[in-house]
Amino acid sequence: MQKRTLGRSGISIAPLVFGGNVFGWTADRQRSFELLDHFTGKGFNAVDTADVYSAWAPGLSGGESETVIGEWLAQRKRRDDVVLMTKVGMWNPRKGLSAANIEAAANDSLKRLQTDYIDVYFAHIDDADVPFEETLGAFSRLIEAGKVRAIGASNHKADRLQAALDAAKAAGLPRYEIVQPGYSLYDRSEFEQSLLPVIQSEGIGAVSYFSLASGFLTGKYRSKADLEVSSRKAMLDGYFDARGERILAALREVADEVKAPQAQVALAWLMSRPGLTAPIASATSTAQLDEIMGATDLDLPADARDRLDAASR
């Protein structure tokens, strides 16, 4: 499988990242192992998680996803085959980007993941209360100790990302080599209008979350009426505006033409976009996983890409 390089990090990944928020939550340990086996068995290599996953779920407190991944890595002994991404800063017990918190959180994550190093360690939030020099200095010490290979910024606005890059250059500290923004056919403007100029000029990689707009683009929901029996009603209700309906219509049309599932088409469109290294997507069954992995083999015709682009403007 043709890999893509994450900015200037020297780390290469397949053009789809597995979103590990489901591990230990909607996918139990056994199912998570099956999914990871299937994903890596098909030649994919990047898995994204965070210390906070899945603290929002009843009965869970955070750290579950990292723990499951760590158990899988220990059993399968596949560490060298996997690009492991995790994050610090959002989880209440390890909140913020102070130097002390980053060091403690990294050591905690390494224990749960049962590994000596993290390939990409993301600042999960932008912590305006801590100087960039302190945050980047803490990341620098982790890199020097061999605990982290590269660092990234998640949920950072373009101006703050640029300020962090400038601070790193001025202080001679490691810079953010990867960003993780929300980006999909529905949610485009912030990435394309603000972040994209920065990451292109600075040579930064990008992996996107909410790549299927929280399920809106999967084909499961054809109209607002479909939400009435869905647990995602509150999350997806706002997507069913005039623009959202227009996007779904174009997506269905293209999916019918190329004879592919809507989720596959939506991900393939993202994979073709300038500046994006790879989208992140999750699955809780091997059938779902096959569907999203198939996006890497789907070459959308230029006319189809243009129609999706126009519908989502």
Q: What is the DSSP string of 235-293?
A: HHGGG-SHHHHHHHHHHHHHHHHHT--HHHHHHHHHHTSTT--EEEE--SSHHHHHHHH
pTM: 0.96
The residue type of 48 is D
CA gap 198, 252 in Å, rounded: 33
Contact indicator for 153, 209 with CB cutoff of 8 Å: no
pLDDT of amino acid 228: 59
> In CATH terms, is domain 4-180 a member of 1.50.40.10?
no
Whole-number Å distance between alpha carbons of 91 and 55? 8
pLDDT of res. 117: 98
Helices (H), the chain: 29-41, 64-76, 99-113, 132-144, 158-171, 189, 196-202, 233-236, 242-258, 262-271, 286-293, 302-311
Catalytic residues: 53
Phi first, then psi: what are they for 208, rounded to 5°? Answer: -100, 140
Are 135 and 127 within 8 A, CB to CB?
A: yes
Amino acid residing at 47: V
**b vs e for 69-93, b when ≥16 Cβ sit within 10 Å of the residue's Cβ?**
bbbbbeeeeebeebbbbbbbbbbee
CB atoms within 10 A of CB 164: 22
For the chain (length 313 residues), average pLDDT per consecutive 10? Answer: 94 98 97 98 98 96 98 96 98 97 98 98 98 98 98 98 98 98 96 97 97 92 67 74 94 97 97 97 96 97 97 94
The CA radius of gyration of the chain, in Å to the nearest whole number, is 19
Phi, psi dihedral angles at 247 (to 5 degrees): -65, -45
Contact 175, 164 (CB under 8 A): yes
Domain ranges of the chain: 4-180
Query: Residue 88: enclosing H or E segment and its boundaries?
Result: strand 83-88
Residues paired with 281 in a beta bridge: 18
Residue with tokens 């400038």: 166
* Of 115, 60, 130, nearest in space to 85 by CA: 115
CA 133 to chain centre: 25
Q: 9: cis peptide before it, omega within 30°?
A: no
Pairing of strands 4-5, 118-123: unpaired
Give burial (CB, 10 Å; 0-12/13-18/19+) of 294: middle
Amino acid 220: pLDDT: 83
C-beta atoms surrounding 97 within 10 Å: 24
- What residue type is 111 in one-letter code? K
The pLDDT, as a whole number, for residue 231 is 59
**DSSP code of residue 207:** E
Spacing of C-alpha 215 from chain mean position: 15
| Cβ neighbours of 145 (radius 10 Å) | 12
Give me the pLDDT at residue 238, please.
83
